[in-house]
Amino acid sequence: MRFAGRRCLLCNCEGSTTLEVEALARALGASDAERPFEHLCRAELERFRALAGSGEPLLVACTQEAPLFSETAGEAAERIVFANIRERAGWSVEGRSAGPKIAALLAEAAVAVPPAPALELRSEGRILVYGAGEPALAAAERLAGRLAPTVLLSEVADAAPPSVVRFPILKGRILRLQGHLGAFVATVENAAVVAPSSRDRLRFGPASPKTELEADLVLDLSGGAPLLTAAEKRDGYRRVDPRDALAIERALFDLVALVGTFEKPRYVTFRAELCAHSRSRRVGCTRCLDHCPTGAITPAGDHVAIDPYVCAGCGSCAGLCPTGAATYAAPPPTSLLERLRTLLRTYHRAGGRDAQLLVYEFRHGEELVSAIARFGRGLPARVLPFAVTELGQLGLELLAAPFALGASRTVLLLPPRKEPELASLRASLAQLGALLEGLGYGADRLAVLATDDPDELEEALWRPTLVAQLPSRDLLAMGGKRSLLRLVLERLHEQAPAPVAVVPLPAGAPLGRILVDVEGCTLCHACVGACPTGALAADPDRPMLRFKEEACVQCGLCENTCPEKVIRLEPRASFEPAVREFVTLKEEEPARCVRCGKVFGTKSSIERIVQKLAGTHWMFQTPEQIERIRMCEDCRVIVEFERGERPFAYGEPRRPRTTEDYLREREEARARQAEGEGSEAS
């Protein structure tokens, strides 16, 4: 059958999977319903070869034999996509009733996913082996025939000098290691080169206080703390216990393969103009900086900078970014939402009920799903598996979207080994939990399970739930992060059991308002200049502070910039119409010059200046001097001149000395001398 521009090849895998092709064709809007294959990967492989050679894009409902199909198709393999309907749906005790789920899985697989932008990394095989004595030298000897090692000994111990030196040998201590595959730089303290006259033990020449060594790869056998943050995520760096010979052999095997040119996805796209990190050296949002496990994000003035070569693609920055400045690109969020939308819409259109979404990382969850299907009861017919690249990329808008699309429940399957990295996801889940609870959905609609045990996962998925089915809705994957979040929340509010106007949210949520102590605010508008999203605004005609809640991302820049410290944040989700409009937080009469009546400021700010300067500053001691503060800039100058105080006078200029001055002074000195001699004679 054909749908979404592809011909779908179904196989019942020797009758082990029940396929009702007529019902599937109706659910998918297919043009025809073809009889499924029974042994496409073996007895009917030639039939597949002919279909692949026709040039028509294919959707093959099998992932187990995907390598065989791709090899058979040759160049046509790039036009083929694969879907797993066997372990995910057909191999289940409810497999006969899994027709709506099979249709949904096929429709999701047909969604086009744009390729992620790529970076190029190049390694020429220069490897730095860092460790103590004999283990480091032995590892370098093993690598010398394939790579270009340099040994840096952290401890010399009793290592014997090699009879033939095939690589540089130094001693020293690494103070700092930076870089990535193909471009590591190690800053070494007290680096010294081995002396060629070393006889019974290694001796070294004079040490350099600080030296930099460059390398494409690094093998760390020091046995100490990792030289890099999240070292296991840094390509080209391997840290191994020097006492574990088997682990060293595995590391050597992996490192030898890292020579040549490699492509790495550019996981995150970044738009600096949307970043709300800082303004005028006042720090606001630090969500991405606080949660990046690899240290790939650093402050860079008013925004942050993301090193794509160090980024390991966890997605925390994209999931937490309140403005959309950081966006996950492998794949982008719009592609992820379109897959989710297609999955749930097709499931409901095929007659499916009580949709329960199982969200997991493909590398982790797919193996557990396969184990349940092969050795257990399989997945329930209502459970729709949804694989993502990284769970950390899921922000509040993507976590809430399933409920806006009609999913009754969501279960997130977390890899236990990655628990420390998923603090950002936990924060977003806490915000979603508060929303669901506040709108009356209940806390049971959202579950988190961190396990590597398929039996535990199976038990959790088959456990009866008491959540009511939600109405099926549609949601277009359009707009940026903020507009999409607002649209999802409005859908949740429309169908909420308790549609309250305001739901309080935990600290750090990307939604909310600001509270201003009106009495302390002087309308200096420092907050307006600092606001990166335009949520705060002034009025050109009157002293006024205005605020639009829909634009506020709770970055905290206004709070940190306010000189009077009268602003505080209140995270919340408001569904009142007023959030889309500017509201006036404070307004007051303008300050008028006491002499000419000209408007030149606000009363509160002028009076605050009077309080601070009157009687304490030498220029404002008398009532007349204090009154000048209440004058405009023109009248202050006029009053100064009217009083005759000559405020700009510099005194009499110094007269230059001439020859006449010197001659006159000499004559005067002689006269005084003669007068003194005459008085003595008398």
User: Could you write out the DSSP letters of every residue in 485-522?
Assistant: HHHHHHHHHHT-SS--SEEE--TT-S-EEEEE-TTT--
Please give the structure tokens belonging to residue 626: 């204090």
Task: Give the CATH number of domain 120-263; options: 3.40.50, 3.40.30, 3.50.50, 1.20.120.
Answer: 3.50.50
Q: Which long-range contacts (CB under 8 A, 24 or more apart) does 504-507 make?
A: 504/434, 504/438, 504/571, 504/572, 505/431, 505/434, 505/435, 505/571, 505/572, 505/573, 506/427, 506/430, 506/431, 506/434, 506/571, 507/571
For residues 580 and 544, is the Cβ–Cβ distance under 8 A?
no
Torsion of CA 363, 365, 368, 372, to 10 degrees: -140
pLDDT of residue 681: 66
Q: What pLDDT, on the 0 to 100 scale, is given for residue 160? A: 82
Q: What is the pLDDT of residue 156?
A: 82
| Pairing status of strand 6-9 against strand 58-60 | parallel
Question: Model confidence at 673, in pLDDT bands (50, 70, 90)?
Answer: confident
Q: What confidence tier does 123 reach under pLDDT thresholds 50, 70, 90?
A: very high
Residue 159 confidence class, pLDDT cut points 50, 70, 90: confident
DSSP strands (E only) in 109-259: 118-123, 126-132, 148-155, 169-180, 183-193, 208-215, 217-221, 237-239
- Residue 332 to residues 66, 324, 388: CA-CA distances in angstroms? 25, 12, 11
User: Which pair of structure tokens corresponds to residue 71?
Assistant: 């090899």
- Output DSSP code: residue 37: B
SS3 at position 327: strand
Give the pair of three-digit tokens for residue 609. Answer: 């200046």
Peptide bond into 464 cis (omega under 30): no
| Residue 647 pLDDT exceeds 60 | no
Over the stretch 436-475, which tens digit does the pLDDT of each residue have?
999 999 989 999 999 999 999 999 999 988 888 888 888 8
Strands 282-283 and 278-279: antiparallel
Return the bridge partners of 327, or none: 269
* For the chain, counts of helices (H) and of strands (E): 20, 31
For the chain, the domains span 1-82, 120-263, 266-328, 334-501, 512-587
- Is a pLDDT exceeding 80 seen at residue 318? yes
Q: How crowded is residue 519: how many other Cβ atoms within 10 Å of its Cβ?
A: 9
The CA–CA distances, whole Å, from 82 to 78, 85, 202, 523, 541 equal 11, 10, 59, 61, 63
Query: What per-residue confidence (pLDDT) applies to 200?
Result: 84
Q: What angle do CA 489, 492, 494 make, to 5 degrees?
A: 110
CATH topology of domain 512-587: Alpha-Beta Plaits (3.30.70)
Pairing of strands 126-132, 148-155: parallel
Fold match, 120-263 / 512-587: no
> Is residue 420's pLDDT more than 60?
yes
- pLDDT classification of 155: cutoffs 50, 70, 90: confident
Mean pLDDT for 529-545 is 92
- The mean per-residue pLDDT over the stretch 627-635 comes to 91
Tokens linked to 181: 């595959």
Instruction: Please tell me the predicted confidence (pLDDT) of residue 599.
Output: 84
pLDDT tops 80 at residue 627 = yes
Specify the pairing of strand 169-180 against strand 148-155. parallel
The answer to whether the beta carbons of residues 523 and 604 sit under 8 Å apart is yes
pLDDT for residue 90: 96
Q: What is the pLDDT of residue 225?
A: 93
3-state helix, strand, coil in the chain (%, to 5): 35, 25, 40
pLDDT of residue 645: 58
Beta bridge partners of 214: 185
- Return the structure tokens found at 163: 């009879």
Question: Can you say how many angstroms the Cα of residue 181 is from the centroid of all Cα atoms in its chain?
Answer: 21
> What is the CATH code of the structural domain delimited by 266-328?
3.30.70.20
Residue 151 has pLDDT above 90, yes or no: yes
Torsion sign over Cα 208, 210, 215, 218: positive
Q: Provide the mean pLDDT of the chain.
A: 92
Q: How is residue 86 annotated by DSSP? A: I
Give the C-alpha separation, 417 to 593, whole Å: 68
> For the residues 111-124, what does the mean pLDDT come to?
93
Alpha carbons 275 and 305: distance in angstroms, whole number: 10
Identify which of 340, 317, 332 has the alpha carbon closest to the alpha carbon of residue 488: 340
For residue 448, the cross-strand partners are: 412
Distance from chain centroid for Cα 436: 25
Where residue 235 falls among pLDDT bands split at 50, 70, 90?
A: very high
- What would the pLDDT profile of 176-202 be if each residue is shown by its tens digit? 999 999 999 999 999 999 999 888 889
Higher per-residue confidence, 305 vs 542: 305
| Contact by Cβ (8 Å): 188, 97 | no
Residue 617: both structure tokens together: 């500053």
Q: How many CA atoms lie within 13 A of 77 on its CB side?
A: 11
Which residue type, as a one-letter code, is found at position 422?
L
579 has pLDDT over 60: yes
Give the whole-angstrom CA distance, residue 284 versus residue 286: 6
279 strand-pairing partners: 282
pLDDT at 644: 64
* pLDDT on residue 639: 87
Do the beta carbons of residue 288 and residue 267 sit within 8 Å?
no
With bands split at pLDDT 50, 70 and 90, how would you rate the model's confidence at 651?
A: low
Lowest mean pLDDT among 64-73, 103-112, 515-524: 515-524
CA 20 – CA 24 distance, rounded (Å):
6
Given a contact cutoff of 8 angstroms between Cβ atoms, the answer to whether 444 and 467 are in contact is yes
- Residue 484 scores a pLDDT above 80: yes
Overall size of the chain counted in residues: 682
pLDDT band at 217 (very low <50, low <70, confident <90, very high): very high
Distance of CA 223 to the CA centre of its chain: 31
Amino acid identity at 601 = G
The stretch 383-398 carries a mean pLDDT of 95
Look-up: residue for tokens 């006024």?
544
Once rounded to an integer, what is the mean pLDDT over residues 228-240?
93
